[in-house]
Structures are given as C-alpha cells and as structure tokens.
Amino acid sequence: MDLSLLLTDVPTLLFVIVAVPAVLGAYIVGGEFLVRRLPDRARGSVRPWIWVVPALVFVTAFLVAPAVGTVFTSFQSHEGGWIGLTNYQRQLTDFPTGGAWIAIRNNLYWLVLYTLFVLFFGLLLAVLFDRVPYESVVKSLIFMPMAISAVALGVIWKFMFWYQPADAPQTGTLNAIVVNVFHQAPKTWLTDVSVNNFALIAAAIWGITGFSMVILSAALKGIPADLLEAARVDGAGEITIFRRVIFPLMMPTVVVVGTTLVIFALKAFDIVYVMTAGNFGTDVLANRMYKLLYQADNPGGASAVAIILLIAVIPVLIFNLRQFRAVEARR
C-alpha cells in the first residue's frame, strides 16, 4: 500500500468533515441573523425555508429531477432522438424469454419467496427466542449478517454452494451434505437453472432475516402480558394463543415489515451481481439495468428498465403513504 496517499487524502478527509458542517452551521447562523433583521410578520414565513432549503435542493437535484430525466431518456434513442415506446417494446418483446421477461419473472420469484420466507423465519425466531433466557445472545447472532455487505454475503454463500465433480471430495457445505448424507450427485447450485434462482434467494433470506426478527420481536414484546396470561388461564394451548392472540396483534407490524421486504426484493442487485452476474437465467431488473447501461451502452433501454422497476414499486409506495397518513391521523 502506497503511504504517500495518506499524506494527501487524510488532510482532505479532515478538511471535509470539519469544513462542511462548519459552512452549514455558518449558513444557519447567518440565516437566522438575517431573519432577525426582517419585520416581525415576515420572520415566521421566511425562517422555515432557510432550514429546509439545503435538504430540498439535494433531494431535488439527486432524486426528483433525475427521475424526471430518466422518464425522458426512456423515450429517446442513443443519439437523443424521440423514438416513442420503442425502448419499452424492446424490453417487453418475445414473452416469456426475450427482453426483460426473465428478469421480471425472477423479480416475482424474489418478491414472493423472499418476502414470505423472511417473514416466516423472522416470526418463528422472534417467538421461539422470546421464551429463552439467553435471548439477546441468539438474537445478536442471527442479526449479525445485517452488518456485512451483500458482496461479503455473496462470497460466504459461494462457498456454501461450491461444486466439485462427483469423483472429487466435496468442499462446499451443501454438496457435501447432498453427497454424504443423501447419496445424490452433487449439484451445480449457481448454474443449474432449476435451482439457481432459489439458491440466490436463500442466500438473501439468510442475510435479512435478522431485520424482520428484530422488528417482529419488538412487536411481540409490546403485547400485554396479562392478555396472554388470561388466554392461558382460559386453557388455550400455546399454538391457539399464537393463532388467535399473538398473530392478529402483530399483523400491523408484519404488514410494515412485509412492504419493506417487497421493496428490497424488487431492488435486489448486489447478491445477483456478485454470485452469478445475472447469467444462467438469474437476471433481475436492477442488474439488467446496470448491464444495459455499462455493458451495452444503451441508456434508453436502461431507463426503460428503471421505469418498469418504478412502476412495480408504485403500489407499495401508495400503500406506505396511506399507512403514514393513518399513523399521522392518530397522533
């Protein structure tokens, strides 16, 4: 490693993390100084804008305006001429294997399997762990994959799925089990089109279950103990209590976690990029967009894929907004 770099970059870093907050602080203090010079009536209507404008500028410049730009690009050719819906046509041609259809199909697999299994495991672990005295330790262990990058997660699972020809010793955990316990031929988990999508989804489920477990566990602890006690006194079994008392009370939280997971599933990228690069029929929309942009130099097609992704997210987005307004109304 070249240490001369530290001499130029470390001062830059220190400068940035001191100077930028200082400039922002000076802006707020200076703004307040100017607001105080205004007539009484104007103060209240000017001040809030001074506080929110920097944020609005960034959000507009990096999210809102570019999103509008992407809509325009999706109707343009590489040279910038208007070509109507041609980009969309190319992405949605030759159902079920042409254009973006494989990616759309796989995103549907992700959406259903990833969301359901993560909710299932999250709920199962939350309920089981709630009953043991060493809950915090086991929760930390399950939660730990949340801290690592999806790239590292991809490396971990590449090892789990490692394949050696049938006559060689199997060094991958799963194939060792397949060969030594079930006496079957080893599987090429990541290239075999009948299993590879599920293999990727399984890796992703492993990484995110801690997230749903933590939120669901908090909701579980929010259920009043006397309620469960009353049900037990009435002679209800643990399974009945779960079905009739715990689950209904946790439903709102399950829905919130579920919608978040749906968004994660639609945006799936890193794991696919690292483990298969979208080959062997494992492409997803986010990876397809990246490939169209960088490998095919096709910004129009990439934009069209991004818009398809947005359209897929819109129902969740509307649901989130309704949820938010409902919560606001209860305040």
Least distance in Å: CB of 233 to another protein? 10
Least distance in Å: CB of 96 to another protein? 23
Residues 6+ apart with CB under 8 A from 223: 245, 246, 249, 250
Q: Nearest Cα to 192, choosing from 280, 74, 133, 103?
A: 280
* 148 is a site residue for another protein (CB under 8 A): yes
- Interface pick for another protein out of 83, 269, 280, 281 (rule CB under 8 A): 269
Least distance in Å: CB of 10 to another protein? 9
Beta carbons within 10 angstroms of residue 287's beta carbon:
23
Q: Alpha carbon 82 to chain centroid distance? A: 34
The number of helices, as runs of H, and strands, as runs of E, in the chain is: 16, 0
Residue 93 or 149 having the CB closest to another protein: 149
Beta carbons within 10 angstroms of residue 127's beta carbon:
18
Going residue by residue from 279 to 298, which x/- string records binding to another protein, judged by CB under 8 A?
-------x--xx--x-----
Structure tokens at 76: 């343009």
Which of the ranges 87-95, 101-109, 244-252, 320-328 carries the binding residues for another protein, by CB under 8 A?
320-328
Burial class (CB in 10 A: 0-12, 13-18, 19+), 328: exposed
Which of the ranges 42-50, 82-90, 101-109, 242-250 carries the binding residues for another protein, by CB under 8 A?
42-50
DSSP 163: -
* 214 is a site residue for another protein (CB under 8 A): yes
Enumerate residues 48-67 that contact another protein by CB under 8 A: 48-49, 51-52, 54-56, 58-59, 61-67
- Interface pick for another protein out of 99, 122, 172, 278 (rule CB under 8 A): 172
Q: Count residues near another protein (CB under 8 A).
A: 115
Q: With contact defined as beta carbons under 8 Å apart, do 187 and 163 qualify?
A: yes
Enumerate residues 227-266 that contact another protein by CB under 8 A: 228-229, 232, 256-257, 259-260, 263-264, 266
- Interface pick for another protein out of 47, 113, 245, 281 (rule CB under 8 A): 47
DSSP 144: G
* 267 is a site residue for another protein (CB under 8 A): yes
The C-alpha atoms of residue 71 and residue 304 are separated, in whole angstroms, by 8
The C-alpha atoms of residue 177 and residue 184 are separated, in whole angstroms, by 9
Enumerate residues 181-210 that contact another protein by CB under 8 A: 206, 209
The C-alpha atoms of residue 255 and residue 264 are separated, in whole angstroms, by 14
Least distance in Å: CB of 213 to another protein? 10
Enumerate residues 77-116 that contact another protein by CB under 8 A: none
